[in-house]
């Protein structure tokens, strides 16, 4: 642990790479958790595909609206805040997230690199025009969980969630920014992700190849266990604030 703190303090470029586990303590289910209520018999990975939306748009749109409602009511947790605090303590910092919520931003982080899109940025599947959600928190879809997606005012096509589904490319600019950050950092923190989904998970390998120290924070084992320089087994809402306190409170 002393070596870890020494390396973190000495780092000139820190990258934090987050996944769904960071928002778990805010009440947002992780991707590979069992889904709740109406969606409990569905695998999230099967709903997050272009094919699922094409086959049953109102079911998939209902699922995303339910999740958007959860996020709107959720608050950032101490893990989000610790990451924001880190940003002001290191010379060069990047936050890369796979999460589609805005809890990092609401927790005080800025210039967040979103690799898998954002729930708050739906767009037209036909002409790609952005769509603005109504202000109000969506009512939980009742009964079947279905909600008809809105249609585009310009071309009439369906509005789709502003997220990256399986089989779709990551947003070019975000992916480039993330790769550049991973290849140039000297300390890479991988937090709350199963590190199963590509190409995002390859960022840790890029950082490793560039010689960075890799710290993993996760209560459960992952494929990164064998290659990370350090692993702290625990929830990010506890581990990250402690890490910031240990590294910088005495400065």
Name the site residues for Zn ion (rule: CB under 5 A). Answer: 124, 126-127, 129, 152, 154-155, 157
Give the strand pairing for 213-217 and 13-18: unpaired
Q: Which residues of 181-203 are buried (b: 16+ CB within 10 A; e: fewer)?
A: bbebbbbbbbbbbbbebeebbeb
Tell me if 76 contacts ligand BJW by CB under 6 A: no
Tell me if 126 contacts ligand BJW by CB under 6 A: no
Q: Rounded to the nearest whole angstrom, what is the least distance from the CB of residue 43 to ligand BJW in the complex?
A: 11
Tell me if 231 contacts ligand BJW by CB under 6 A: no
Binding mask 38-57 for ligand BJW (x = CB under 6 A): ----------x---------
d(CA 188, CA 216): 8
Q: Rounded to the nearest whole angstrom, what is the least distance from the CB of residue 154 to Zn ion in the complex?
A: 5
Instruction: Measure CA 120 to chain center.
Output: 13
The set of residues, in sequence order, having a beta carbon less than 8 Å from that of 152 and lying 6+ positions away, is 124, 126, 127, 129, 131, 158, 159
d(CA 69, CA 67): 5
Q: Give the residue, chosen from 222, 224, 232, 247, that forms a contact with ligand BJW under the rule CB under 6 A.
A: 222
88 vs 220 by CB, closer to ligand BJW = 220
The catalytically annotated residue of 116, 128, 133, 184 is 116
CA-closest candidate to residue 220, choices 3, 11, 21: 21
Tell me if 116 contacts ligand BJW by CB under 6 A: yes
Q: Which residue is nearest to ligand BJW (CB)?
A: 21
Task: For residue 143, count other CB atoms closer than 10 A to its CB.
Answer: 7
**Annotation says 184 is catalytic:** no
Residues with catalytic annotation? 116
Question: Which residues of the chain form contacts with ligand BJW (CB under 6 A)?
Answer: 19-21, 24-25, 30-32, 48, 98, 100, 116, 163-169, 192-194, 196-199, 217-220, 222, 235-237
């Amino acid at each position: 642990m002393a070596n870890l703190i020494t390396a973190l303090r000495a780092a000139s470029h820190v990258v934090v790479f987050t996944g769904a586990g960071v928002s778990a303590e805010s009440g947002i289910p992780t991707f590979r958790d069992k889904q709740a209520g109406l969606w409990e018999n569905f695998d999230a990975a099967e709903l997050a595909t272009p094919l699922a939306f094409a086959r049953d748009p109102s079911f998939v749109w209902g699922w995303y609206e339910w999740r958007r409602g959860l996020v709107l009511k959720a608050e950032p947790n101490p893990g989000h805040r610790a990451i924001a605090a880190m940003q002001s303590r290191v010379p060069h910092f990047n936050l890369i997230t796979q999460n589609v919520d805005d809890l990092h931003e609401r927790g005080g982080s800025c210039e967040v690199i979103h690799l898998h899109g954002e729930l708050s940025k739906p767009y037209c599947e036909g002409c790609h025009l952005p769509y603005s959600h109504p202000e109000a928190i969506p009512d939980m879809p009742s009964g079947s969980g279905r909600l008809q997606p809105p249609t585009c005012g310009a071309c009439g096509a369906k509005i789709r969630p502003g997220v990256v589904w399986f089989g779709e490319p990551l947003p070019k600019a975000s992916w480039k920014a993330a790769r550049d950050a991973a290849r140039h950092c000297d300390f890479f923190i991988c937090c709350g992700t199963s590190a199963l989904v590509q190409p995002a998970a390859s960022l840790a390998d890029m950082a490793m190849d560039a010689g960075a120290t890799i710290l993993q924070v996760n209560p459960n084992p992952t494929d990164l266990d064998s290659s990370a320089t350090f692993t702290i087994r625990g929830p990010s809402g506890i581990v990250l604030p402690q890490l910031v306190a240990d590294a910088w409170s005495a400065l």
